[in-house]
Chains A and B, each alone.
Chain A
Amino acid sequence: MNKFGFTISKGRQIDYESNDRRIADYIFEKEPSFRLCIECGGCSATCTTSNFTVFSLRELNILIKRGENDQVRQNLKKCMLCGKCTLVCPRGVNTRNIVVLAKKAFQKSDEYAI
C-alpha cells in the first residue's frame, strides 16, 4: 500500500493512557516536591555528569512523569548525586531524593529489574 513515503512512527508519540506511571506515582508520594518542577533546566545546566556525557535530569524527570520509563532506567544511573542541582533549583525540588527514589523504584519493580 502506498503510504506516500511516511508513516506516523509509533515510538514518537507518548501514549499517555497505556504508559505506566507507577514510578512517577511512587515518587510523588514519597517526595511531593517532584511536582514543583517548572522545567527551567537549571539542574541540567549545573549538572556534574552532563559535563561529561548526555544526561539531563530535567528530561529524565519529565519522562518519568509521562511514564516513558524505558529511556530513564539506564540513564538515571549516570547521576553522581553531587547535589549541585538541588542547590540551584529555584523551586526547591529535592532532586537528589528523586534520583534515589527513582533508582529504588526501578529496582523494586520486577518488570523493570535491572
Chain B
Amino acid sequence: MQFDPFVIPFNIGLYFILIYVVARSVIWFRDLSRPDKLRLQRGFFGIPFALSLKEIFMESLIHRKILKTNLRLGYMHMSLAFGWFLLILFGTIEADIFGAKHLNAPYKAIFFRFFNPDHGRMGFEAAYGFLMDLILVFILSGLLLAVTKRFYSKIVGMKKTTRLKLTDRIALTSLWLIFPSRLLAESFTCGVYGTGSFLTGSLGAWLAAFLPAQQMAYPFWWLYSISLGTFFILLPVTRYMHIPTELFLIFMRNAGIKTGDKAGTYSEVQTYSCSSCGICIDACQLNFSAGITNIQSAYFMKAIRNNDDVSEIADNCLMCGRCDQKCPVGIELSPIRMIQRRGGEAENDIRNIYKGYFRSRQTIISEKAIASSNYNFLQETVPEKTDILYFAGCMTHLTPSIKNSMIKILDASGVKYSFIDKQGGACCGRPLMLAGQDKEARELINYNSQMIWKSGAHTLVTSCPICYKVFKESYYLDVEVLHHTQFIKMLIDDGSVKLNFLHKKVVYHSPCDLGRGSGVYDEPKDVLKHVSRLERSNFEDGNSLCCGGSLANMKISSQTKKKIALDAAIELTKNSPDILATACPLCKKTFSAVTETRVADISEIVAEALIMNPLKKNSGSNISSIKELANI
C-alpha cells in the first residue's frame, strides 16, 4: 500500500472541510423558510440545475464577470480557481489511469508524483506530464499576480485592495505556499529520477545539479501537505469560505430565492460568498470622491462575518447601488445593508475562534415595539375623485420649477388629474425605511394608500424617484405607478402633447432610485431624445453616478456630499452640454449647487418644448385657467 506520514496534514484538512461544508449546508438548509426549501429542492432539477452548473463554471471557475470588469484581476481569480480545478481534475484522472489501482484516495492524486516518481518518461505519459506542468504554470502565473496585488494593488488595475485580519493572513500564506511548494517538491523528485516535463523536469534537473535533491524533496512534500491542510482547516473562518459557499449561493439564486427583509440563510450565504475581490471598493463614490475607505461592501460583508457591530458601516452608505451592479458574485448588497439598518446596533459577540466556525445567527436587538401611533395627527382626508393623481413629493416642493412644469404638461395634455399634495402631503415613507424604521414607514404608507385608494384614480404619477420606488415596491395599490418621465413618454407616444425640438445639447444623469433602484433607464432618455440632442456620458445606465445628495446616507456631512456632487458634475459636464438633465428634484438641487452648467429636470425641458394648444380645455386643474382670467 502506498502511504507516507506526510499526507496526514492534508488528509485531516480535507476530511475536516468536507464534513464541515456538509454540516454547514444542512444547517443553512434547515434555516430556510418552507417556501424557500421547496424552491431550492426544485432548483436541483431541470433547467435551473443546468443554469446553476453553467453559472458555476462561468463565474466560480472562469470568473467571467471579473474578467469583463478588470482583465488582470479576472485572470488572477481565474488562474487560481480554474487552474486549481483543472489540476485536481486531471490529477485525479492521472492517478486513476496510471496509478496502481483505480479509485484512489484523494491524496494519491494530489501527491501522485511522490508515489510514482518514475512515471512520465515517454509517449502518452510524457504528454500528460506536459499538461500537468502547463496547468501548474497557469496557476503560478495567477499566484504571482496575487502576491504582487497584495503589495502593489495598482498592478492588477485596482486602486484599493482589501485589508486582512490575522486568520486571513495565515490562510493567505498557506494558500500562497501550496503551489510553490508543490512545484519544488515535484521538481526535486523529478530531478532525482530524471523525469518531469518542461517545468518540473527542467527545474528539477537544474536544482539536482547543485543540490542534494534526494534529501530536499521530502521536506517540500511535507510543506505542500501542511499548506493544504492548514488552508482547509482555516477556510471556514476566512474569506476563502466563499469558494464552497458560492456554489450554494448560485443554486439558491437560480431557484428564485430572494434576500427579503430579515436576516436569514440567504443573506448569510451571500455574506459568505463575498471573496473580497474589491471591485465594490473601486466602484464606491464614498471611496473615490470622499476618501472614506472603511465602509464599502467588501468590508461590510467581512464585518458581518466577524460579528462586529456594523451599524456605523451600514448607515454610512449612499445606497446608490453601484456596488450591487458591479458585484461579480451577484450579492444583493443593498438589501443586506437594509437588513442591518433595520436591526440597529448589533450585540457585540464575544470573539472566539469556535464562534467563527459555527456562528450563531446574528444577534440583532429588535427595536422596542411602539405602543401608540407616531403619526396619529394625520387626519383622514377625502380627496376629489379623479383618473390621474399627481404626487409631487416633499423634495419637489423645494424645486417649484419642476412642480410648475408638471402642472403645465398635465394641463396641456388635457387629462383629468388632481394634484394630491399641492398643499404639501405626508412623506412617502421611504426616508424612514432608509433609516431602518419600517414600522413608522408603514404608518405613512397606510395613510397615503388610503388617500390614493379613495381618489379612485387608476394612475399615480410622481416627480420624485424616492417616492416612485416606495410606491412601486412597498405600497399595495391597485393603481399604475409612473414616474413623470414614464408618464411624459406615454403622453408623447399617444400624441397628447406636442413638443418642439430644442436645439440643445443635453447629457442625462440617471437618478439612483429611478435607474438602478427601479430599472427605469429608457423612458427618460427617450423623452430627451424627442426634444433635444442627447449625448452620452461615460456614466450611463447601471454605471451612472450618484449625485451625493442621497437621503440614504445620514453619516456624511454636507461638505462631503458636495465633494461627491462636484466630482460627478465634472464627469457629466466634460463635453460641456447646454443642460445637465436629471429626473429627480434632489439630484437637481444637489447638482445646481456645484456646477455652472444649467441643471434641469426632464419635466422642465419638456415644458419648455411644449406647443401650447389654445383649443384644449383643462379639465383637471383650474390653476392656469383662473390665472388667465385674472390676467384678462
Contacts and interface: CB of A to CB of B under 8 A. Distances in A.
A87 B551 CA distance: 10
Nearest to B585: A87
Interface residues of A, number: 27
Contacts of A96: 431, 435, 551, 554
A84 B377 contact: no
A81 B427 contact: yes
B554 A94 contact: yes
A100 B374 CA distance: 14
A81 B395 contact: no
Nearest to A76: B374
Interface string B385-415: 0000000001101100000000000000000
Interface stretch (B65-73, B487-495, B555-563): B555-563
A51 to B, nearest CB: 5
Contacts of B444: 80
A56 interface: no
Contact of B398 (A33, A46, A92): A46
A1 interface: no
A78 interface: yes
Residue among B344, B394, B555 with the highest chain A CB neighbour number at 10 A:
B394
Contacts of B375: 78, 80
B284 to A, nearest CB: 20
B377 A83 contact: no
B551 A84 contact: no
B435 A81 contact: yes
A87 B395 contact: yes
B562 to A, nearest CB: 9
Nearest to A97: B554
Contacts of B367: 107
A105 B204 CA distance: 68
Contact of B394 (A52, A84, A94): A84
A69 to B, nearest CB: 18
B368 interface: yes
B424 interface: yes
Contact of B558 (A77, A92, A100, A104): A92
A13 interface: no
A32 to B, nearest CB: 8
Given A87-B398, A92-B557, A81 B432 contact: yes
A89 B554 CA distance: 15
Interface in A65-110: 77-78, 80-84, 86-89, 92, 94, 96-97, 100, 104, 107
Contacts of B423: 51
Contacts of A88: 398
A100 B520 CA distance: 31
Nearest to B429: A80
Contact of B432 (A33, A80, A97, A107): A80
B274 to A, nearest CB: 27
13 contacts: A46-B397, A48-B424, A48-B427, A52-B377, A52-B426, A53-B377, A78-B377, A82-B431, A83-B394, A87-B586, A87-B589, A94-B558, A96-B431
Interface of A: 33, 46, 48-49, 51-53, 77-78, 80-84, 86-89, 92, 94, 96-97, 100, 104, 107, 113-114
7 tightest Cβ-Cβ pairs between the two chains A and B = A92-B558, A53-B377, A80-B427, A82-B427, A97-B554, A77-B374, A82-B394
Given A80-B440, A81-B431, A82-B427, 16 more contacts: A48-B424, A48-B427, A51-B424, A52-B377, A52-B378, A52-B426, A78-B375, A81-B427, A82-B431, A83-B394, A83-B431, A87-B586, A88-B398, A94-B554, A96-B431, A97-B554
